[in-house]
């Protein structure tokens, strides 16, 4: 049975392992190197995710099949200049062999419900350009594009 639950401190080693798989997958995609350098949680990942699990303005969930953790997701609630709140999905990942069975949906629903409970005006979930599976997943679950970020590479560093 597919489900999700809030992450516990005991889940951190598995979350770090899954985060490394996500980084390997995304960093190879267009825009992935810069995503890793700018948006991905910083090393050491065990510290970053331990802090994230403890934050009052965030929720980290794990996705399971028959109580076996095979994915994780995270959302952070930001306060906008207007005072309104916006949820920002920072992580959503399911092991490749367990995709398209409902685990990602269960986690996304939990993240959105958390944002709703905090009175957020919306939830943003970034997807890399060309990552059609992520774009399709989010669109299937009620997300629509609200902005495109255009980038011009200038040098040999992350792009």
List b or e across 108-121, with b for residues whose CB sees 16 or more CB atoms inside 10 angstroms: bebbbebbeeeebe
pLDDT at 156: 77
pLDDT at 159 over 90: no
For residue range 85-133, what is the model confidence (pLDDT) as tens digits? Answer: 999 999 999 999 999 899 999 999 999 999 999 999 999 999 999 899 9
Burial of residue 72, with CB atoms counted within 10 A of its CB: 0-12 exposed, 13-18 middle, 19 or more buried: buried
Average pLDDT of span 65-84: 97
CATH of domain 2-140: 3.40.630.30
pLDDT at 117: 97
How far apart CA 34 and CA 50 sit, in angstroms, is: 24
Structure tokens at 138: 């989010």
Residue 157: pLDDT band by 50, 70, 90 thresholds? low
* Strand 85-94, strand 68-79: pairing: antiparallel
Mean pLDDT (the chain) is 95
How far apart CA 126 and CA 90 sit, in angstroms, is: 8
Q: What angle do CA 124, 49, 23 make, to 5 degrees?
A: 70
Structure tokens at 130: 């060309």
Contact 4, 69 (CB under 8 A): no
List strand residue ranges (DSSP E) for the chain, in order: 2-6, 58-65, 68-79, 85-94, 122-124
pLDDT at 158 over 90: no
23: number of Cβ within 10 Å? 17
pLDDT at 109: 97
Structure tokens at 101: 């069975």
For residue range 18-56, what is the model confidence (pLDDT) as tens digits? Answer: 999 999 999 999 999 999 999 999 999 999 999 999 999
């Amino acid at each position: 049975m597919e489900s999700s639950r809030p992450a516990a401190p005991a889940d951190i080693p598995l979350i770090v392992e899954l985060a490394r798989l996500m980084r390997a997958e995304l960093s190879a995609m267009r825009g992935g190197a810069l995503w890793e350098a700018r948006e991905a949680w910083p090393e050491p990942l065990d510290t970053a995710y331990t802090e994230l699990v403890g934050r009052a303005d965030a929720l980290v969930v794990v996705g399971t099949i028959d109580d076996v953790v095979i994915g994780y997701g995270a959302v952070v609630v930001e306060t906008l200049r207007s005072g309104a709140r916006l949820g920002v999905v920072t992580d959503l990942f399911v092991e490749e062999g367990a995709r398209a069975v409902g685990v990602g949906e269960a986690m996304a629903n939990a993240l959105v419900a958390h944002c709703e409970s905090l009175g957020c005006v919306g939830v943003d979930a970034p997807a890399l350009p060309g990552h059609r599976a992520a774009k399709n997943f989010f669109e299937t679950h009620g997300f629509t594009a609200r902005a495109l970020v255009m980038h011009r590479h200038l040098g040999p560093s992350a792009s």
